[in-house]
Amino acid sequence: MTSSPEDKSCHSPQPSDASSSQRLIVKATVVRQDTGGVWLSTPVSTSCSGCQQQDSCSSGLVAKALPVRQQQLFLADSSDLLPGQQVEICVEPGAVLRSALMVYLLPLCVFIAALALGHLQSWHELLQLGCAVVSTALTLWCVRRVELGRADQLSVQLVRVLPDISVLQQPADSALA
């Protein structure tokens, strides 16, 4: 399967020059202008959207039943973009991976560790569960504060503005003449 250099799929890493690491390129639509920049909307992709078995898989059926979600991102210093324009934005995959590990893996590990600690201490099951839930909630609160502090590392960068493709409609009478 070959693709042209212009054909970039959503949410796929694209090769870049040797001086920089790979970037995650995403197509986005400008939703609205705001002071200092614009708000962009990108579709949240799922693994079920490209699978050949999505009609017979239970996960694919669930994904079809749920509405398509949109993620809102703020792009600073791009007030010259107009609502409806298509753009390509990028973010460093390492920053996304670090955030995903902190948001998903760390609370899960804390939950399991709190349950294991309660089991080793021979606590009542309800006390084990309560401590695990409280410790996970505290971990999520701490992760949120850390992620807000490093929001500049996750900022999106404008790669390029995609050209507008407009189709001119001609009346059927003029097409025959």
pLDDT of residue 66: 66
How many separate domains does the chain show?
1
Does 17 have pLDDT greater than 50? no
Residue 67 lies in a domain: yes
Model-wide pTM > 0.85: no
Sign of the four-CA dihedral 43, 44, 45, 49: negative
pLDDT of residue 62: 67
Tell me the two tokens of residue 106.
């760390």
Banded pLDDT at 9 (limits 50, 70, 90)? very low
Residue 135's domain spans which residues? 12-163
Measured CA to CA, the distance from residue 133 to residue 120 in angstroms comes to: 17
Does 169 have pLDDT greater than 60? no
Q: What are the pLDDT digits (tens) for 53-92?
A: 666 777 666 666 666 667 777 788 777 888 888 999 887 7
Does 156 have pLDDT greater than 80? no
Measured CA to CA, the distance from residue 74 to residue 85 in angstroms comes to: 14
Q: What is the DSSP string of the chain?
A: ----TT---TTEEE---TTS--EEEEEEEEEEEETTEEEEEEE---GGGG-TTTTT-HHHHHHHHSPPPEEEEEEET-TT--TT-EEEEEE-HHHHHHHHIIIIIHHHHHHHHHHHHHHHTT--HHHHHHHHHHHHHHHHHHHHHHHHHTGGGG--EEEEEPPP-------HHHHH-
Of residues 157 and 64, more confidence is placed in: 157
pLDDT of residue 107: 96
Which has the closest alpha carbon to 89: 155, 133, 137, 31? 155
Q: What are the pLDDT digits (tens) for 100-154?
A: 899 899 999 999 999 999 999 999 999 999 999 999 999 999 999 988 777 656 6
Residue 158 lies in a domain: yes
Residue 75 lies in a domain: yes
Residue 97 lies in a domain: yes
Residue 177 lies in a domain: no
Measured CA to CA, the distance from residue 67 to residue 8 in angstroms comes to: 24
Residue 7 lies in a domain: no
pLDDT of residue 68: 63
Does 18 have pLDDT greater than 50? no
Tell me the two tokens of residue 57.
């898989």
Phi, psi of 90 (to 5 degrees): -135, 160
